[in-house]
């Protein structure tokens, strides 16, 4: 009896000191670990090429299921033979009586899921380098006839937050797919291609679908399917209805074209690997990206001259976002220096536009008659919803929007208003009772004004967030990459080496 109650000892791998827990998966817990002096008994050549920090996946042998050993063996075997700049490196594996240990590359920036959540959603300029790096891994795997089978933001790690390099992880369910295809069900349901859920063989185009879902989540802050149950999610994935891509003007035609190509339910209509790798959104052509940024800047200047400060600020921020993204990948020092100057000047101009926009808004608000502003102070009375559940639910969505606005969560509030108003508008079109139609009209008018106000506040909030991020990136870039620091660093290198020795 005593033996049954004994807890499994904590992981302990000679040569490493375990630190914080980085995460836990379905069959293992990952810890941050530091190399200890014990490793000094190894040859010096091995020490010099090894980092100090690691991520060690610890799998309890007591918790092993029938399928876990196959997954572990598959992951270890694959990671031993595949090496790529954008794939997490496996350095070693070991075991004792309690655990199996896989010693992996440590990525200090967390995973892509955390990165997206911290920013709510990413601009196209920020999402593009991520998808380009994923494409490099897929090209590498495609040439080896390998399919990852579980691409999702949680399995994409970042080397840092400031200048993230993506590292694809978790190859436990990866597989070689030959001409006959595969019929095994593997991966994570939310990112799983529709053909995997059919009884027919599928091929490695399932990874392209997953990339489409990831890109969608980056751009819109949520995956294409938001369901309350597994059965509902399966139904949505297997549905024949085309994926609805929001009509967002911030997304370029080439980005939308790629998204539509990736999220084709029929794999035969989905974009091919060949076309994916050479798609203009994937293929790195900085000259066209710079032209796009310059075009945004010119539009900003034109709108500012015509007095439309809101549009001018929007295009100014989009231009700055593009310039910062280019700086991160550009190898041309002179061009990078010019772009940094543009960003610095652009941030000053953007702040000036914000002030002018607020001054204009303040002046126009002061001239609005008080009767106009108080007319929609409260929703109409006698809005009886006792006998109409659909309208009652729609009204509740609008009330939810009010609450979310109160806590400055404008993006979610807009979604709630949109859901509620769409139902009410549909109901009013079919309502035959003049009294009820008038009440619906008044309620809709009230919440349309609230939704419009919320939309404006959301846009202003998003602009502030985007500008703050651009400013932060600009400061980090100047600190880390400014050419003026290069000579100083070179001069101090020899002194630092002497001190270290």
Mapped onto helix, strand or coil, the DSSP state of residue 431 is: coil
Question: Is 150 among the residues known to form the active site?
Answer: yes
In the set 150, 170, 473, 477, the catalytic residue is 150
Question: CA distances (Å), 354 to each of 222, 302, 467, in order?
Answer: 29, 16, 11
Q: Round to whole Å and give the CA distance between 197 and 209.
A: 13
Q: Round to whole Å and give the CA distance between 426 and 316.
A: 38
Q: Round to whole Å and give the CA distance between 72 and 60.
A: 12
Query: Tokens 């000191």, residue?
Result: 17
3-state secondary structure 351-420: HHHHHHHHHHHHHHHHCCCHHHHHCCCCCCCCCCCCCCHHHHHHHHHHHHHHHHHHCCCHHHHHHHHHHH
Q: Round to whole Å and give the CA distance between 94 and 100.
A: 6
Closest CA to 112 of 138, 86, 85: 86
A 10 A CB-CB count for 134 gives 23
Closest CA to 14 of 97, 79, 76, 94: 94
Q: Round to whole Å and give the CA distance between 394 and 444.
A: 11
**Residues whose CB is less than 8 angstroms from the CB of residue 127 and which lie 6 or more positions away in sequence, other chains included:** 215, 218, 219
Say what angle helices 112-119 and 206-220 make with each other, to 10 degrees: 30
Q: Report the DSSP beta bridge partners of residue 55.
A: 32, 104
Cα within 13 Å of Cα(79), Cβ side: 25
Q: Round to whole Å and give the CA distance between 401 and 379.
A: 14
Say what angle helices 410-430 and 389-406 make with each other, to 10 degrees: 150
Q: Round to whole Å and give the CA distance between 309 and 301.
A: 10
A 10 A CB-CB count for 379 gives 18
Q: Which residues are catalytic?
A: 150
């Amino acid at each position: 009896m005593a033996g049954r109650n004994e807890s499994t000892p904590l992981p302990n791998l000679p040569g490493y000191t375990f630190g914080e827990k980085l995460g836990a998966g379905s069959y293992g817990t990952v810890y941050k670990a530091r190399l200890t002096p014990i490793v000094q008994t190894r040859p010096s050549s091995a020490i010099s090429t090894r980092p100090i920090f690691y991520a060690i996946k610890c799998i309890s042998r007591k918790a092993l299921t029938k399928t876990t050993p196959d997954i572990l063996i598959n992951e270890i075997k694959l990671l031993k033979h595949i090496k790529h700049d954008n794939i997490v490196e496996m350095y070693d594996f070991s075991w004792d009586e309690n655990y199996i240990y896989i010693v992996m590359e440590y990525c200090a920036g967390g995973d892509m899921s955390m990165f997206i959540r911290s920013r709510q959603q990413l601009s196209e300029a920020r999402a593009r380098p991520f998808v380009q790096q994923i494409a490099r891994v897929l090209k590498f795997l495609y040439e080896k006839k390998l399919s990852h089978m579980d691409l999702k933001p949680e399995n994409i790690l970042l080397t840092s937050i400031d200048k993230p390099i993506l590292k694809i992880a978790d190859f436990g369910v990866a597989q070689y797919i030959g001409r006959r295809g595969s019929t095994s069900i593997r991966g994570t349901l939310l990112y799983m291609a529709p053909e995997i859920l059919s009884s027919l063989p599928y091929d490695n185009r399932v990874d392209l679908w997953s990339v489409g879902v990831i890109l969608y989540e980056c751009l819109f802050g949520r995956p294409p399917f938001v369901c309350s149950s597994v059965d509902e999610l399966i139904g949505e994935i297997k549905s024949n209805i085309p994926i609805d891509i929001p009509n967002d003007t911030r997304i370029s035609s080439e980005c939308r074209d790629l998204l539509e190509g990736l999220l084709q339910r029929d794999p035969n209509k989905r974009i091919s690997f060949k076309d994916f790798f050479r798609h203009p959104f994937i293929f790195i052509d900085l000259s066209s990206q710079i032209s796009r940024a310059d075009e945004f800047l010119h539009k900003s200047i034109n709108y500012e001259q015509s007095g439309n400060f809101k549009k001018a600020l929007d295009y100014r921020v989009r231009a700055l976002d593009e310039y910062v993204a280019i700086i991160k990948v550009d190898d041309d020092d002179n061009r990078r220096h010019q772009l940094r100057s543009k960003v610095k000047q652009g941030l000053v101009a953007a702040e000036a536009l914000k002030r002018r926009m607020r001054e204009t808004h303040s002046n126009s608000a002061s001239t609005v008659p008080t009767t106009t502003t108080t007319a929609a102070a409260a929703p109409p009375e006698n809005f009886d919803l006792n006998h109409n559940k659909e309208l009652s639910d729609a009204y509740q969505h609008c009330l939810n929007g009010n609450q979310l606005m109160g806590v400055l969560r404008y993006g979610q509030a807009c979604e709630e208003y949109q859901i509620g108003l769409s139902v009410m508008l549909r109901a009013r079109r079919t309502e035959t009772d003049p009294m009820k139609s008038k009440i619906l009209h008044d309620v809709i008018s009230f919440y349309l004004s609230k939704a419009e106000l919320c939309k404006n506040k959301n846009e202003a909030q998003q602009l502030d967030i985007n500008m703050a991020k651009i400013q932060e990136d600009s400061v980090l870039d100047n600190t880390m990459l400014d050419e003026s620091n290069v000579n100083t660093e070179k001069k101090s290198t020899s002194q630092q080496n002497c001190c270290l020795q």
